[in-house]
Structures are given as C-alpha cells and as structure tokens.
C-alpha cells in the first residue's frame, strides 16, 4: 500500500488529495502516518475513489480519532449512530418541514458544544453531476494576516456560541426538547491554539456565534462581521468539486466550511458524515 499511495496538493490555501489506497483494507503504518501528516499540513484531506459499507467507513475513520454520536437522532444512520445522513431530501421535520441544506453558511462544526469535535469526515455516497461543492477557508492564514493591533485586541476575547443563534445565516434543524437540553450555551476563545501543531487560528462560526463576552451588542456584531468578511476572502479559500467515492476530512480547529445547495432540482446528493472527539478550545 505504501507504494500505491500518492498525495497531490489541491488548492493554494489548503487542501490535498490522496489516491491509490482502498480503505476496505488495512493500511501500512507509513500510509497511516502520511495521511495524518497531510491533514495537519493542508487542513483538508480528500481520499479518492472509495466504496465502503457504513461499518467499513466507520472503522476506517477511527484512524483519525474516536467517532462520537450525532446529536440529532433523526439524522443518525440506522446501522451506526456515529454516522449522520446528509441528503438532498433532508427536511426540517421538527420545524417547518421545508428543505434543509445543512451547513449552507460558513461555520465550524460543533462549536455550540463545550467540547467541539476536532475533525469531520464526509463520504460522497452519491454526488450530483454538477453543483453541491463544499468550500473551505484557512483560519491559520486569516489570523496571521490580521494587523498586529487587531491580533492583540482579539487575543483575550471570548464568544458565546449557541445552537440556535440569532446571528445565524441559514435555517437549522429544530431539536427535540431532550436534544436541546444537551447543548446549552457555551463560551469559546475567539483565537485558539491548535493542540497538535501549536499554531494559532481564528475560531469562528458565523452560524452559532451569538456575541463577544463583555462587548456591547453593536460593537460585538461589528467585530464579528468584520472578522468573518476578512476570513472568507477568496485568497483563503479552497472549493471542492465532489467526485463519487470521495471522503473529505477537515480540521475544524483551523478551518471553516460551507455547503452549496446549487445542484439541479431532482438531483440526488447523499453524504455520510462522521465527527471525531476533540478537546476544549484554548
């Protein structure tokens, strides 16, 4: 397997593709190490050309961390609670019943939890011929390019994150009462240090951030909006065009991402999502 693995850079700002491996088979130690390092270096890793059962997919992703159960019971895969089904047929069943494009606004997964996930895996089981891309931004670079005065200003700031934030840019799925009780408001630093690389990054989620602690609401909104505009500039972005059998793995500790629901009417898009355990942002 070592000789078969090839790794190719994708976007300028972030992204890397790995080919020549079959995750149905055990990987050599050198291949496992190469994949993990590629992800740390390039923040978004695409493993091409996979054909996996839910069980095999879940087992393969344990290479990158410990999978955790999804919050919304209705979205859990019947064969594995750690797999969330994302589909072009998704509806807000507990809300207004309308179609949902999960993740259609810039965000970082799980920031509304006290201990957010570290990585997200998304397996393209069925992808449309056109549309449905996923975009990413490099939050290391976005932070590093800020003026020194701004980095100094935001260094001590902390932000309230809420499942159903008043600032959200897109509709989200309603939770049951029991589910909502598991995700009370939490507070996270605006700048976090990656526990493995030691690099600092903006830690933002425009879909979940409610307010900066200690600032007037108008000042908080202005600051968060300015930082989001800065971080989502094209220079920090990579746009992934899906192929059947792609598995995308990204690091929520130093990226944001968004899904595009622009595939043709009637086209089917089916993704299996896994998240793995993280640590308290610091």
Question: In the chain, at which residue ranges do the beta strands (DSSP E only) sit?
Answer: 6-9, 16-19, 44-47, 76-77, 80-87, 119-126, 134-138, 158-161, 186-189, 191-193, 200-202, 209-212, 237-240, 247-251, 255-259, 270-276
pLDDT value of residue 172: 67
pLDDT value of residue 263: 76
pLDDT value of residue 254: 98
CA–CA separation, 278 and 110 (whole Å) = 10
CA–CA separation, 9 and 238 (whole Å) = 11
CA–CA separation, 123 and 130 (whole Å) = 17
User: Quick check: 43 and 255 in contact, CB under 8 A?
Assistant: yes
Q: Which ranges constitute the DSSP H helices of the chain?
A: 29-42, 54-61, 139-144, 148-154, 177-181, 217-231
42-100 pLDDT per residue, tens:
999 999 999 999 999 999 999 999 999 877 666 778 888 899 998 766 544 445 445 55
Domain count for the chain, please give it: 1
0.85 exceeded by the pTM? yes
- Side-chain-side CA neighbours of residue 244 (13 Å): 5
Overall size of the chain counted in residues? 282
CATH number of the domain that 79 lies in? 3.60.130.10
Specify if 1 maps to a domain.
no
Specify if 133 maps to a domain.
yes
Specify if 184 maps to a domain.
yes
Specify if 281 maps to a domain.
no
From 78, 16, 68, select the one nearest 240 (Cα to Cα).
Answer: 16
Under-50 pLDDT residues of the chain = 1-2, 91-94, 96-97
CA–CA separation, 101 and 124 (whole Å) = 15
Specify if 114 maps to a domain.
yes
pLDDT value of residue 14: 98
Specify if 10 maps to a domain.
yes
pLDDT value of residue 3: 52
CA–CA separation, 102 and 221 (whole Å) = 24
Around Cβ 156, how many Cβ atoms within 10 Å? 11
pLDDT value of residue 150: 98
Specify if 53 maps to a domain.
yes
Domain carrying residue 247: 6-276
pLDDT value of residue 94: 45
Specify if 282 maps to a domain.
no
Average model confidence (pLDDT) across the chain? 90
């Amino acid at each position: 397997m070592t000789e078969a693995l090839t790794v190719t850079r994708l976007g300028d700002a972030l992204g890397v593709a790995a080919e020549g491996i079959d995750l149905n088979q055990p990987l050599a130690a050198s291949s496992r190490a190469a994949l993990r390092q590629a992800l740390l270096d390039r923040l978004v890793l695409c493993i091409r050309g996979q054909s996996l059962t839910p069980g095999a997919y879940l087992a393969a992703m344990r290479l990158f961390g410990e999978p955790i159960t999804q919050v919304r019971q209705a979205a859990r895969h019947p064969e594995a609670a750690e797999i969330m089904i994302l589909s072009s047929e998704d509806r807000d069943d507990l809300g207004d019943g309308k179609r949902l494009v999960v993740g259609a606004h810039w965000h970082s997964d799980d920031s509304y939890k006290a201990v957010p996930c570290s990585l997200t895996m998304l397996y393209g089981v069925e992808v449309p011929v056109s549309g449905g891309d996923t975009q990413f931004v490099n939050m290391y670079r976005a932070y590093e390019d800020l003026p020194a005065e701004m980095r100094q200003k935001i260094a001590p700031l902390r932000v309230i994150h809420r499942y159903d934030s008043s600032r959200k840019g897109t509709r989200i799925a309603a939770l049951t009462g029991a589910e909502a009780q598991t995700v009370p408001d939490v507070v996270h630093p605006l700048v976090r240090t990656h526990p493995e690389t030691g690099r600092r990054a903006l830690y933002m989620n425009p879909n979940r951030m409610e307010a900066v602690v200690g600032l007037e609401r108008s000042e908080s909104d202005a600051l968060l909006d300015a930082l989001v505009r800065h971080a989502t500039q094209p220079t920090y972005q990579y746009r992934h065009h899906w192929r059947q059998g792609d598995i995308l793995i990204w690091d929520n500790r130093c990226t944001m991402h968004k899904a595009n629901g622009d595939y043709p009417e009637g086209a089917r898009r089916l993704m299996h999502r896994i998240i793995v355990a993280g640590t308290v942002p610091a």
